[in-house]
Amino acid sequence: LLRRIEQVSGLKEKIVPDGLRLGIGDDAALFAGRRGYETILTCDWFLEGLHFLRDKHPPDAVGWKCLARAVSDVAAMAGTPRYFLLSLALPSTRTGYWLNEFLRGLRRASNCFGCILAGGDTTRHQKTLVSVTVVGEVKAGRAVLREGAEPGDVIFVSGRLGEAELGLRILRRLRYQAGKRNPLLRKHLYPQPRMALGRWLGKSKLASAMMDLSDGLSMDLSRLCAASGVGARLEAESIPTVRRSGSKENEGLQLALHGGDDYELLFTVPRNKVKWLSRSFRGTPLTAIGEITRERILLLQDVDGRIRPLADRGWDPFHEARKP
């Protein structure tokens, strides 16, 4: 089947360049790391019923998103994706149209992110299971970790938050498979990892800590703070939310705080460096939403100035029964 994946997808054509000596077809892939670079390694599940719904997610969006999610982890370390391994388990009934569409989306993502299929493992299963491993690289010393945030640092996010979660809610209400071109669903179906921004934040050495937002701002910020041994205070007013006509008051803020799948970057900048950071990067807004504090709790300052603790209510498969 992996051979067919090469053929159907044309992914193999792209294997020759760079340091990759050997792609699909041997026991393993083989590549030479570049001198002066470190290798980044990450993997991500993408499971039917948990991360996508068989009847509602277009298969090409499944192909795009399974790679985009893992690439986003590389972007969040200021790295560049290079190769990926695809572990795919499918029912026999899915090896026709569904697989072709899946591979079309995957190929588009592979081209767009410059991330080449280097191997994988395929097997049969009642449900569609995907696990993607991405290998990236970053110049030695340039990786931005979660652990560098210091009290006083300003907290930034890229883009607008909550849009993907809103798209998911709309998609769940659909009776049929989602249309690929629905602009309200675009960010949920075809997320764009912030690769160029991540690299620039690493190169410019402006960010003291960074991660990508996959499980919701409240959950992910608490992880960044835990890694750095600090706390944070957010200003509700500053958080870039989605506005919908006729939406309940506060809905946008709740989506932005606790909605998952944004794949925006969350990063901290020392106060004396904030002046070097412009308020947008290649059209993507960069917004200051609060600051890092010494006390290890998360606080949210409401629009009326009241400060209250912020619970981390993002996506955790073992604590919530939430599904896509």
Q: Which residues bind a copy of itself (CB under 8 A)?
A: 1, 21-22, 25-33, 35, 38-45, 47, 49-50, 73-74, 76-77, 79, 83, 85, 87, 89, 92, 95, 118-125, 129, 131, 133-136, 138, 140, 143, 145-147, 211-212, 227, 317-318
Distance CA 7, CA 322 (A): 37
The size of the chain, in residues, is 324
CB-hemisphere CA count at 13 Å for 285? 10
Cα–Cα separations (whole angstroms), residue 298 to 36, 219, 253, 255, 279: 38, 10, 16, 17, 24
Query: Minimal distance in Å, beta carbon 319 to a copy of itself?
Result: 10
Minimum CB distance to a copy of itself smaller for 77 or for 300: 77
CB of 220 to a copy of itself, least distance (A): 10
Q: Which lies closer to a copy of itself via its Cβ, residue 16 or residue 43?
A: 43
Closest approach of a copy of itself to the CB of residue 216, in Å:
15
- The number of C-alpha atoms within 13 Å of 139 and in the hemisphere containing its C-beta is 9
* CB-nearer residue toward a copy of itself: 79 or 231: 79
Nearer to a copy of itself, 105 or 119 (CB): 119
CB of 191 to a copy of itself, least distance (A): 15
Q: Compare residues 105 and 120 and give the one whose CB is closer to a copy of itself.
A: 120
Q: Phi and psi dihedrals of 135, rounded to 5?
A: -110, 130
Residues 33/41, Cβ–Cβ less than 8 Å: no
Q: CB of 317: closest distance to a copy of itself in angstroms? A: 4
Q: Cα-flanking dihedrals φ and ψ of residue 154, to 5°?
A: -90, 135
State the Cα–Cα distance between residues 219 and 224, nearest whole angstrom.
Answer: 9
